[in-house]
Chain A
Amino acid sequence: AQKVTQAQTEISVVEKEDVTLDCVYETRDTTYYLFWYKQPPSGELVFLIRRNSFDEQNEISGRYSWNFQKSTSSFNFTITASQVVDSAVYFCALSYDNDMRFGAGTRLTVKP
């Protein structure tokens, strides 16, 4: 069965701390895509990154970085030097066929 687990329900950090959001997935497919979405307090869902199952290169975009490891079925997301504007719920998702299976989300609060 396809499944995404985000074990961290809520994380609270102080501004400028680094924080890592964990994502573990299960799938029998050999070809799949993993995504991260951000949901700020305003409620919209914003696409952050896509990674396919054949590309295990880590990705860095500004203060954001993603670590994809097939050996542990994980796709973790790190925010470096967190800012108050990073406060949001973050969803990891696994895409296969015509479905996208989401994790339960991690609520990140960054305090000034």
Chain B
Amino acid sequence: NAGVTQTPKFQVLKTGQSMTLQCAQDMNHEYMSWYRQDPGMGLRLIHYSVGAGITDQGEVPNGYNVSRSTTEDFPLRLLSAAPSQTSVYFCASSAGGPIRTYNSPLHFGNGTRLTVT
């Protein structure tokens, strides 16, 4: 039972480089989201999607892009990496759809630790 799978687990980038963090889930969840975790700040929402073809911004979207072409996949793109994007990134999914899904717990991937030098 795979759940939410994130790749890679670790990544080091130089300032200005771009990359894509991959996220896939096999639970047929409509809702998917990306969070970043920084010390002392908990988790903050970057972008989310309530279904294929639908994405929206969260609390800290600047510097990141997402797309949702399938129900299973929700990649996060860093357009031009900056040291401020050094963080641990978590992908999550939950049951529900375009209606409000706030009653469903999130299922998290194992995280990607990103360092930007």
Contact = CB atoms under 8 A, between A and B. Distances in A.
Given A44-B110, A50-B103, A52-B103, A99 B59 contact: yes
Contact of A99 (B58, B88, B107, B111): B58
Interface in B21-46: 31, 33, 35, 40-45
Contact of A98 (B40, B41, B43, B56): B56
Nearest to A92: B42
Interface of B: 31, 33, 35, 40-45, 48, 50, 56, 58-59, 88, 90, 92, 100-103, 105-108, 110-111
Given A9-B40, A47-B107, A95-B102, 7 more contacts: A43-B110, A45-B43, A45-B92, A52-B103, A91-B43, A98-B33, A99-B58
Interface of A: 4, 6, 9, 32-33, 35, 37, 43-45, 47, 50, 52, 91, 93, 95-105
